[in-house]
Amino acid sequence: MLEFLLNTIIAMSKGVGYTVSLFVITIIFSMPLGLLCTFMSNGKNPVLRAITRAYVFVMRGTPLMLQLFFFYFGITKIPFIGQFLVMERFTAACVTFVLNYAAYFCEIFRGGLLSVDKGQYEASKVLGLTKWQTTVRIVLPQMFKVVLPSVSNEAITLVKDTALITAIGIMDLMHITKSLVNGSAGSIEPFIVAAVFYLMVTFGLTKLFNYLEKKFMF
Amino acid sequence: MINVCNIVKSFGENDVLKGVSFKVEKGQAISIIGSSGSGKSTILRSIVGLENVDGGSIYIDDEPLVENGIYVDDKTFRSRSLKMGMVFQHFNLFPHLTVRENLCLAPKCVLKRGKDVLNQRCEKLLEKVGLIDKIDAMPSSLSGGQKQRVAIARALMMEPEILLFDEPTSALDPELTGEVLSVMKELAAENMTMIIVTHEMSFAREVSDRVIFMDKGVVLVDDVPEKVLVNPENERIKSFLNKL
């Protein structure tokens, strides 16, 4: 019994790599991309504004699963250019997740940006700070404070969303869990082990964000 | 030192400034009074570049910021307007920075002053406004009066030649206005050039070299405090003062 559990854990730990890497890559790339979109959608250029709005509308308005299939299978079927867009499973998953989460972060950051008081910009201007200095030193720190709870929420959702990549045949934690269950004539232990893993990660994230929220309390 | 010449400004249909002119000499303190909506704050905001005027000229030390409605380029504007500091009604301190950081950020980034010079000046100014013990405090832990005194110190850190005050005590509890006004009186006594938009009539009478009374976007009277506040001849001013 114990041995079975141990073997289960060892087998599943191989899938954890994909799950964790996807999570880390998505967080690292989608947040800056989301921030860039925020500035574009708030900027003066009407073309960039329209592009970001359309992008956010599509990425938020369609299922992540559909986007995953699109970037892995669909995109290769586009006439002429499709053949250049063939990606490894995991690459396609990363591209999909980064683009999807960037759209959500864009909206979250946009809300945060709107919450920064007009007086902060005025004080900065009168003190002679440049637009860049105002953004980096005055606006962004105040924005981060406001968006932290929502970012925390997104990060936790992301941990669980990574399980979707099973659908395009990546041997992630969820995939291995499922095959272990199928292979062992209906034992449920793998499900529980997987659940404990996801819970451990989300618990860690919750603690991390609680810490950040305390640190950004001003 | 400041020459405001026939400035015109409207927000949509609403003409806020209809040809306002006045001069401020070095070392003078000028108060601008008038009912709300008369354009007092808009004048200050226009001088410092937070609003763009539609016409007229503004000169600082004979150098134009805007001439006949045409602005100098951004860089020139920025360097010329650095002679002015501004204190806002709602303080506008940076909430994520300590008092010291609030004071030192702009002179560090803009004037490129060294750390030691900044710390010294920061301590000297906080001493002056009576808040040296709050140097490492966050703005959220300060009272309104303390915030406004920090804001004054922050403006002074940029070594301005002119200070503009936009209703500096209007957002304060009555018992906290005194501490802010006394700092301002001290500045006036040191011959700081100041333009003060205010509703504090006794303060205006005490510190001002001249009082400008604004009404519906024009300067109605521009004279010494005695003429404007003590023995006004103008009926509009009389009725304004009686309502206070």
Q: Which residues are within 8 A (CB) of B103 and not within 5 positions of it... i.e. 6 or more apart? A: B118, B122, B125, B126, B150, B153, B154, B157
- Nearest residue on chain A to B141, judged by CA atoms? A218
**Distance (Å, rounded) from C-alpha B164 to C-alpha B87?**
6
At residue B219, the pLDDT reads 93
Q: With contacts defined as CB-CB under 8 Å, which chain A residues touch B84?
A: 126
What 8-state DSSP symbol labels residue B158?
A: T
At residue A183, the pLDDT reads 80
- Per-residue pLDDT tens over the stretch B133-169: 999 999 999 999 999 999 999 999 999 999 999 999 9
CB-CB under 8 Å, B90 with A218:
no
At residue A192, the pLDDT reads 86
The answer on pLDDT for A4 being more than 80 is no
What 8-state DSSP symbol labels residue A157?
A: H
- Per-residue pLDDT tens over the stretch A163-174: 999 999 888 888
Element holding B212 (H helix, E strand): strand B210-215
At residue A184, the pLDDT reads 74
Q: With contacts defined as CB-CB under 8 Å, which chain B residues touch A119?
A: 88, 90-92
- Could you tell me how many CB contacts below 8 A there are between chain A and chain B? 60
The residue of A118, A124, A126 whose CB has the most chain B CBs within 10 angstroms, and thus the best one to mutate to test that interface, is A126
Summary mean pLDDT of chain A: 92
At residue A84, the pLDDT reads 85
**Distance (Å, rounded) from C-alpha B167 to C-alpha B153?**
16
B49 touching A (Cβ < 8 Å): yes
Q: What tens-digit pLDDT sequence spans chain B (244 residues)?
A: 899 999 999 998 899 999 999 999 999 999 999 988 889 999 999 999 999 999 999 999 999 999 999 999 988 999 999 999 999 999 999 999 999 999 999 999 999 999 999 999 999 999 999 999 999 999 999 999 999 999 999 999 999 999 999 999 999 998 899 999 999 999 999 999 999 999 999 999 999 999 999 999 999 999 999 888 888 888 888 888 888 7
Q: With contacts defined as CB-CB under 8 Å, which chain A residues touch B158?
A: 127-128
Q: With contacts defined as CB-CB under 8 Å, which chain A residues touch B96?
A: 141-142, 145, 216, 218
**Min Cα separation B3/chain A (Å):** 19
**Min Cα separation B154/chain A (Å):** 9
Complete domains list, chain A, with CATH = 2-215 (1.10.3720.10)
**Min Cα separation B227/chain A (Å):** 33
Give the pLDDT mean for A15-27: 93
- Nearest residue on chain A to B96, judged by CA atoms? A218
Length of chain A: 218
In the three-class reduction of DSSP (H, G, I as helix; E, B as strand; rest coil), residue B243 is classed as helix
CB-CB under 8 Å, A141 with B96:
yes
Q: Which residues are within 8 A (CB) of A63 and not within 5 positions of it... i.e. 6 or more apart? A: none
**Min Cα separation A93/chain B (Å):** 38
At residue B36, the pLDDT reads 86
CB-CB under 8 Å, A142 with B92:
no
At residue B128, the pLDDT reads 94
Element holding B30 (H helix, E strand): strand B29-33
The first and second tokens of residue A139, run together, are: 């606006």
The pTM score is 0.87
B86 touching A (Cβ < 8 Å): yes
- Per-residue pLDDT tens over the stretch A178-200: 888 888 776 888 888 889 999 99
The answer on pLDDT for A139 being more than 90 is yes
- Per-residue pLDDT tens over the stretch A58-93: 999 999 999 999 999 998 888 888 888 888 999 999
The residue of B109, B150, B154 whose CB has the most chain A CBs within 10 angstroms, and thus the best one to mutate to test that interface, is B109
Quote the crossing angle between the two packed helices A189-215 and A2-42, to the nearest 10°.
Answer: 40
Q: With contacts defined as CB-CB under 8 Å, which chain B residues touch A129?
A: 105-106, 109-110
Closest Cβ opposite residue B92 in set A119, A137, A218? A119
- Cβ(B159)–Cβ(B153) below 8 Å: no
At residue A13, the pLDDT reads 83
Q: In this structure, is the dihedral angle defined by the CA atoms of residues B52, B53, B56 and B57, taken in order, positive or negative?
A: negative
The answer on pLDDT for A8 being more than 90 is no
ipTM of model over 0.95: no
At residue A9, the pLDDT reads 82
**Min Cα separation A182/chain B (Å):** 54
